[in-house]
Amino acid sequence: MGLHRRILVVDDERSVLLVTHRTLVRLGDGYEVVAAQNGREALDRIREAPFDLVITDLRMPEMDGVALTEAIRELCPDTIVIWMTAYGCGSLMDAAARLMVYGCLEKPVEVAEILRMARKALGSTEGREPAVG
């Protein structure tokens, strides 16, 4: 049996959450993909069992993606985090570096880009260029 990797997708927009979840399920049987609609639900899931990768939206009610990432760093410092935002990644570089964020995807995100970055983040051989911030 191959390596089992756990991925958590967090987004308050149901349509984005569903598309991202369905996209990541295409990675195959070695991956468990879990969805959460907000930061608090995501933290509950992380407390139940750690994840290898968390892909989170940044602008969400109650707890935004930066606060979620800070909490993840306290609970599971080795978890890989990728941010998604419709507001541009450029202004987030300082926070991303401080929180050791793997990369930032700008919405609308292409399905191929989600798969490429997730595979690369989890150590797949696909993709040669560094993750974009």
Contacts within 8 Å (CB) and 24+ apart, 109-113 = 109/20, 109/84, 111/19, 111/23
Q: Does pTM top 0.85 for this prediction?
A: yes
**pLDDT at position 48, please?**
96
Which of the four CATH numbers 3.30.1360.70, 3.40.50.2300, 3.40.50.720, 3.20.20.540 does domain 5-121 have? 3.40.50.2300
Q: At what angle do helices 111-121 and 14-25 cross, to 10 degrees?
A: 60
Q: What is the pLDDT of residues 33-78, one digit of tens each?
A: 999 999 999 999 999 999 999 999 999 998 999 999 999 999 999 9
Euclidean distance between CA atoms 27 and 24, whole angstroms? 6
**pLDDT at position 116, please?**
95
